[in-house]
Chain A
């Protein structure tokens, strides 16, 4: 199969005079967990923002199953099956946990104002609720369904972010620093959730600083530095790659 599942090619993103991404290319297979790592300012989050449609790239393209999705608006990208989460706990904090996840079902059960008024959408509402319940159950949040999202502990909030994304039944999930601010315990349970997600048929891309987590769960890792592709490979290859070690630690000469 020559057509890649998710392919980034020749991607460039410039903000005024600053080049955040420069001629970046990589491709992701269906069903893998892919890590995107690199030192601060390497352009990882920018790459995510371009793939998810938050930014329009200034060069190159992103293709999903051969269809160009770069340049589309974020909700259009989402409707094609790529759903993202955000750094920090970006949630609908004033709404209940259940309502948060119901928003995630928006794409599958698109509300219609007229059928809402005359009450013809009962079936859709029931299905959306079922879907939301499944998603909450997946992340072990069901017993907190009627709590306000803001009242959840940090680990649960991160899980809720994933539950919202999963409720949309995506093919690809872009996770922006899902382990940030987590203690080892929470990290561990989050990692097992990601394996579970992958096994349910979701392709996962992760931007992350937590090296131990990333080495532990990724099938394949893309390393970026200064907006460019630095290295690509399996975790054990990346760990020993001299270019990667240099980018992270400085060259041996500097140390000596």
Chain B
């Protein structure tokens, strides 16, 4: 990397942008930024699940498992908040592991429907049992992230800016982990299972174990995103994790594309901007499902490889231009 500003420079600039971003926004926009950050973790974890070729409809509920678990650990067991989030993520991963036994007897469409049914069962359990899940009204007054000071900075986590920094750090670290997994031989095996499961198995790959592994890891990160959400809002209820959220996850993923890790991120950011800024400005919030549906159709028709394909083309052009300069 001889060229200025270089790779490190780009990353530093990006980091500075992320740090300064909330200060350029209004209070309500800062809140949206927190949700966006959490949703990015959710949608990237969903992509990890789809790496092995299976699409699930239970991911929103798995996020809820993390949210409920983390909330209950603080409420019932008095566990310190950031620790409860990690335990919540582990709980979501564990639930996914249990679900994987029946679910991975199925493939493709059957898995899709099976995962939806499994998710709905969990959601109905939350609704049905007032103890400990709080029934249809859910859980309220969940402990917030405790305040703390680092040198001269005070973090009051009722402030969206503070919580944004915290969430961004957690999400950034999670994204780095997921990227590392994907680029490792484990990730290569996920791709192999996706493209040709028979050939992978003939090469000695335990296909079902790898499908389960992807499902469990993805669910753990989804659970973490749920826990982040629960301790920010301070309340969870079964309807937060219903099919509507699942449709959003799918829309973000499809519009963004799944070939790269930044694809779903772009999808999530683009739709959040359209949703929260454009639609809210012109007062068409009620039209959201309609607009999402329309965008989904348009993107499948005209941009089947997602928004990421535009970025890939752009990067390729930059690389070509650079080579042209050098020669």
Contact = CB atoms under 8 A, between A and B. Distances in A.
B204 A78 contact: yes
B305 interface: no
A7 interface: no
Contact of B203 (A73, A99, A104, A112): A104
B257 to A, nearest CB: 14
A90 B198 contact: yes
A75 B205 contact: yes
Contacts of A121: 184-185
B189 A106 contact: yes
Contacts of A113: 181, 184, 186, 213, 217
A165 B200 CA distance: 10
Contacts of A165: 202-203
Contacts of B213: 113
Nearest to B200: A103
Interface residues of A, number: 37
The interface size bin for chain B is 20 to 34
A97 to B, nearest CB: 13
B202 A84 contact: yes
Contacts of A243: none
B185 A111 contact: yes
A107 B185 contact: no
Given A79-B204, A86-B198, A86-B199, A117 B177 contact: yes
A94 interface: yes
19 contacts: A73-B201, A75-B202, A75-B205, A75-B206, A78-B202, A83-B204, A99-B188, A99-B191, A102-B185, A102-B188, A103-B188, A106-B185, A106-B204, A111-B189, A116-B181, A116-B186, A117-B180, A121-B185, A165-B202
Interface of B: 177, 180-181, 184-186, 188-189, 191-192, 195-196, 198-207, 213, 217
